Amino acid sequence: MIRTSMQTMKTIILWLFLFSFLRTSNTLDSITPTQFIKDGQTLVSAGGGYELGFFSPGEVKGRYLGIWYTFSTETVVWVANREVPLDDSSGVLKVTDQGGLVLLNSSNGTVWSSNLSRTAGNPVSQLLDSGNLVVKDGKETNPSNFLWQSFDYPCDTHLPEMKLGWNLVTGLDRYVSSWRSTEDPARGDFSLRMDTHGFPQIFIMKGAKIQTRAGTWNGAGLTGYQGKPNPVANFEFVLTKNEVYYEYTLINRSMFARYVLNPYGLAQWFTWTDYSHSWEPFVSSQADQCDNYAFCGANARCNVSNTPVCACLKGFVPKSPKDWNSTNWSEGCVRKTPLACSSADGFSKYSNFKLPDTSSSWYDKSMGLEECQGLCLRNCSCTACANLDVREGGSGCLLWFGNLNDIREFTSDYQDLYIRLAASDLGLRYRRLSALVPCFLWKIIGFLLIYSHIRLRSTLSEARRKLDSRNGDYRGEDGEDLELPLFDLTTIANATNDFSSSNKLGEGGFGPVYKGTLVGGEEIAVKRLSKNSGQGLREFKNEVLLIAKLQHRNLVKLLGCCIQEDEEILVYEFMPNRSLDFFIFDQERQKFLDWPTCFHIIDGIARGLLYLHQDSRLRIIHRDMKASNILLDNDMNPKISDFGLAKTFGGDQSEDSTNRVVGTHGYMAPEYAVDGTFSMKSDVFSFGVIMLEILSRKKNRGFCHPDHRLNLLGHAWTLWNQNNPLEMVDVTLCDSCNITEVLRCLHVGLLCVQHVPEDRPSMSSVVLMLGSEVKLPSPKQPGFYTGRTVTVPESTSSTTDLFSTNICSTMFLEGR
C-alpha cells in the first residue's frame, strides 16, 4: 500500500519536473539581456491572453515575429518584422544591454530592431496583459515609463488602450496600416489615422486618398459613427498641446475585442465569443455608398434611403446640372446666391447630419454657440458652425471655411449644424412680406393637428382596447407605443377577399402569403403565420417591432401587423415583380435580366445581407436565403424577405427541435444542414449558391449534367479548376455581360460556398470584393458538391438528400 503511493508520488514529481522543464523551455514571461526567444518559444502575458512568438501566415514559408491571442493563435495583432520575413526558423529575439530589441537571423544579421530614444541599466522586456510588448528598466518604479512599446507602432489592429494619434512633441504618429494581403503582413495600401489639419479627425486612407472619414470627436463619440453605436467600448479623445489621440477601453474588461483594418480597406470590430469560439464582427467602417468619402461632392448630402442618394444642401444647386442628372456627383453643388458677407446672412439648422470634413476649420473650446455664430457671420469665408462638444447642452465653437464636404444624413438627430446661407435662400425676405398669411395658415394647421391627434389617439386606444381584451396582461407604454401600425383583422380580410385562394401568392416558410388591396388602393402582401409559435402576445409584438426597425433599401419593408382572434399576421409592402426564382429559372422571363440587372441584383442582395449581419442594431442571421426569398420591386431592385423570422418564429433550431429545420435544401450550408449549427457564414454560403444560380440560370437543387453526378457547386468548381469557368455561365446572359464582372462574381461565389465556414468571406468583404478590383484569394473546395446522401440526425428528420444532384434520375427525398 505504502509502496504504491510512494510510486505514485515519484511519478507525479517526475511529471511536475518534466512539465516545468517543458514550460521553461518553451514559454517565458519576460526576457533580459541574458535570455532570448528563439523560433518555437513564446513570451506569454501574465494574464495569459496574449503571446509573442514566430509564425508564418497562411501558406507562406517566411517567418515573422508577432503577437497573437493564446486562445486564437491565427489572429495576429502585431508583427515586428512585417516588411522583412526571416527565411527559416533560426530567428532569435534579444534585448540588448542598452534596452533595444533586436531580431537576428541565422548569421546574426539584424532583421528588425526597435528604436531607442534613451537607454537603461537593467532592461527587461515583457508582454503586458493589454497585448503591448514593452521594454522597461527593471529598476523603474513608474509602471508606464517604457523605453519602448509596440503600441507606438501599430500594425493592422487597434487594440484597447492603444493610442491612435500624435505625440506632438516627438512627432510620433501612431496609425494603423493594413496588411498587403491576408498572407503578407507588409504595409498595405490602407491606413487608419488621425489627421491634424483643422480640428483633428480620423480617416481611412488608401495611399494619400481619403477613403472614409470616421469624423471628429464631439464629446459623445465620433461624428461619423453616430448611426452605429458601439455597445462594447468606451472611447476617449485627448487633445492637449503635447498630444492628440483617440483610444478606447472595453466596458467589460474580461472581454476581448479588436478593431482591424483588413487588406481590402474595411475596418471592422470583432469581439471574441466563448460559446461559438470565434470572432464575431459587429460594426464596420463602410456599409454603404454614403460612407465613401465625399461621395456626393461638395455641399451635398448623401442619404441611402433616397433615390437618387445625393441632393444639394438647401440653398445650393448642382454645379454641373448635366453631370448631376446623369448621377455623376463629382462636381457637387454651389450656392444659389453668394453670401452677403455681412450679418445679413443667416443659418439653416440641421440635426441629423454627419458633420462636414474639418480639414479646413477653426475651433475654440470655451466659446458658446451664440458667440460662435457671430464670429462666423463676421468672417467672409466661414460657411458653417457647430458646438465642439455636445455634452451638457453643448459648448465650444467649431467653424468651417470653404466647401462643406462629406455630409451624410442619419435617421436620428444627434448634433446641430448651422449652415450659413444668404438671406434670400433662407426665405427671410418673403417672411416679412407675407407675415399675415403664415399667421392664418398656422391657425389652420394647429387645428388640423389637434384634430388628427384626437383621431389618432382614439384609433390607437381602440386598437389597444382590442389587445387588452385578448390579453389582460398587456399594457402599452404611452409615448413610445405602437410605432408600427396595427391592422384590423376585418381590414385584412377585406383586402385579401377573406384570404381567398385566388389571392394567394405562395406558401412561405412560416405560412401562406396573400396579395391584398387596401380600400385606398394600396397593395400589400399579407403573411399569415402558422399558428404554432406558441408565443405570448407581448413577445410577438416586441419581436415585430424589432423586425420593423430593420430598414434598408434591400429589405422588404414591414408595414404593420395584426394580432386578433388567434391570428398573427404580418403586413409587408407588395412587390409587383415577384421573386428572383420566377425570372432566373424561366427561359421566357430570363430575357428581362440582362447582365447589368443581374449585377445590380447581386450587389443589392449582398448589401441587404450585410445590413442584417452587421449594421442593424440586432444582428440577424437569415437562415433561409434563397432565390424565392429575393423579391423584386418595380425597377427590379432586389429586396430580401422573411428576415428576422427564423430567430423569432422558427423556434429554437437546436438538435432537439423536432419538427422544423428552417432552411431550404440546396441552399443550406453543410454545417447547418448536418449539425444544425448556423452562423453568418451559413448565410454567406446560401448567398454564394444564389450567385452561382444567377450566373448559370440553373437551380443548385435539381442540377443535372450528362457527364457527372456533381451538383451546380461541384460543376462550377470542376470548371474553375479546369480553367474554364465561363463554361458554366448561361449563354444568353453573356450576350450582355462584362466578362471581368462575371468572372469576379463567379470567383466570389465560389469563395462563399467553401466547405469550411471560416474560409468563407464575411458579407462586408463580399461587398468590397464585388465593388473593387482587389486581388481575391483562390477558392477551396465547396461544401456539398457531390451527390451524396447524408443522414440527418434522427431528431431533425429522417434520411434526406440535401443537395440532390441526382434529382434528375430519382425524385426521392424529404421523407417527412
Ligand X SMILES: *[C@@H]1O[C@H](CO)[C@@H](O)[C@H](O)[C@H]1NC(C)=O
Catalytic residues: 624
- Of 348 and 657, the one with the shorter C-beta distance to ligand X is 348
Q: Nearest to residue 748, comparing CAs of 688, 698, 696?
A: 688
Question: 562-574 burial, b for 16+ CB within 10 Å, e for fewer?
Answer: bbbeeebbbbbbb
Question: Nine-digit cell at 487?
Answer: 391592422
Residue number of the CB closest to ligand X reads 109
CA angle 181, 187, 189 (to 5 degrees): 75
Q: Nearest to residue 559, comparing CAs of 548, 549, 551, 575?
A: 548
Least distance to ligand X, CB of residue 381, Å: 5
> Which residues fall within 8 angstroms of residue 6, CB to CB, at 6 or more apart?
none
Question: Nine-digit cell at 760?
Answer: 468563407
- Cβ atoms < 10 Å from Cβ of 460: 16
Least distance to ligand X, CB of residue 557, Å: 13
- Of 87 and 758, the one with the shorter C-beta distance to ligand X is 87
> Which residues fall within 8 angstroms of residue 640, CB to CB, at 6 or more apart?
554, 555, 556, 605, 608, 609, 612, 622, 625, 629, 630, 631
Question: Nine-digit cell at 100?
Answer: 533595444
Question: Nine-digit cell at 690?
Answer: 444564389
- Of 383 and 653, the one with the shorter C-beta distance to ligand X is 383
- Of 280 and 468, the one with the shorter C-beta distance to ligand X is 280
Q: Residue 558 in 3-state DSSP?
A: strand
- CA 641, chain centre distance (Å): 19
- Cβ atoms < 10 Å from Cβ of 624: 24
- Sign of the Cα torsion 106, 109, 113, 118 reads positive
Residue bearing cell 491571442: 69
Q: Nearest to residue 165, comparing CAs of 243, 257, 258?
A: 243
Backbone angles phi, psi at 600, to 5 degrees: -60, -40
Tell me the C-alpha distance between 558 and 545, whole Å.
9
Least distance to ligand X, CB of residue 601, Å: 12
Least distance to ligand X, CB of residue 18, Å: 28
Distances (CA, A) of 501 to 247, 497, 514: 60, 9, 8
Tell me the C-alpha distance between 558 and 550, whole Å.
9
- Of 325 and 469, the one with the shorter C-beta distance to ligand X is 325
- DSSP structural state of residue 501: G
Least distance to ligand X, CB of residue 195, Å: 17
- DSSP structural state of residue 175: -
List residues binding ligand X (CB under 6 A).
87, 105-111, 114-115, 153, 252, 254-255, 274, 303, 305-306, 320-323, 325, 328, 330-331, 362, 379, 381, 401, 409-411, 494, 497, 519, 576-577, 592, 634, 738, 740-741
DSSP string, 198-239: SS-EEEEEETTEEEEEEEEB-SSSBGGGTTS--SSEEEEEEE
SS3 content of the chain, % helix, strand, coil (to 5): 30, 25, 45
- Of 110 and 342, the one with the shorter C-beta distance to ligand X is 110
- Of 429 and 591, the one with the shorter C-beta distance to ligand X is 591
- Of 266 and 290, the one with the shorter C-beta distance to ligand X is 290
Q: Nearest to residue 228, comparing CAs of 157, 273, 290?
A: 290
Distances (CA, A) of 502 to 105, 285, 515, 528, 580: 78, 47, 9, 15, 22
Backbone angles phi, psi at 638, to 5 degrees: -80, 145
- Of 68 and 78, the one with the shorter C-beta distance to ligand X is 78
CA angle 358, 317, 306 (to 5 degrees): 80
- Of 691 and 792, the one with the shorter C-beta distance to ligand X is 691
Least distance to ligand X, CB of residue 326, Å: 8
Tell me the C-alpha distance between 460 and 466, whole Å.
10
Least distance to ligand X, CB of residue 479, Å: 20
Least distance to ligand X, CB of residue 320, Å: 6
Q: Are 310 and 329 in contact (CB under 8 A)?
A: yes
- Of 375 and 545, the one with the shorter C-beta distance to ligand X is 375
Question: Nine-digit cell at 594?
Answer: 440582362
- DSSP structural state of residue 156: S
Least distance to ligand X, CB of residue 605, Å: 17
Least distance to ligand X, CB of residue 721, Å: 25
Q: Helices in 259-361 by DSSP H: which ranges? A: 321-325
Q: Nearest to residue 119, comparing CAs of 100, 143, 141?
A: 100
- Of 499 and 540, the one with the shorter C-beta distance to ligand X is 499
Q: Own/partner pairs for 110-117, CB < 8 Å, 24+ apart?
A: 111/81, 111/84, 111/86, 112/65, 112/80, 112/81, 112/84, 114/148, 115/148, 116/147, 116/148, 117/147, 117/170
Least distance to ligand X, CB of residue 755, Å: 29
Least distance to ligand X, CB of residue 250, Å: 9
Question: Nine-digit cell at 304?
Answer: 441611402
- Of 354 and 613, the one with the shorter C-beta distance to ligand X is 354
Least distance to ligand X, CB of residue 796, Å: 30
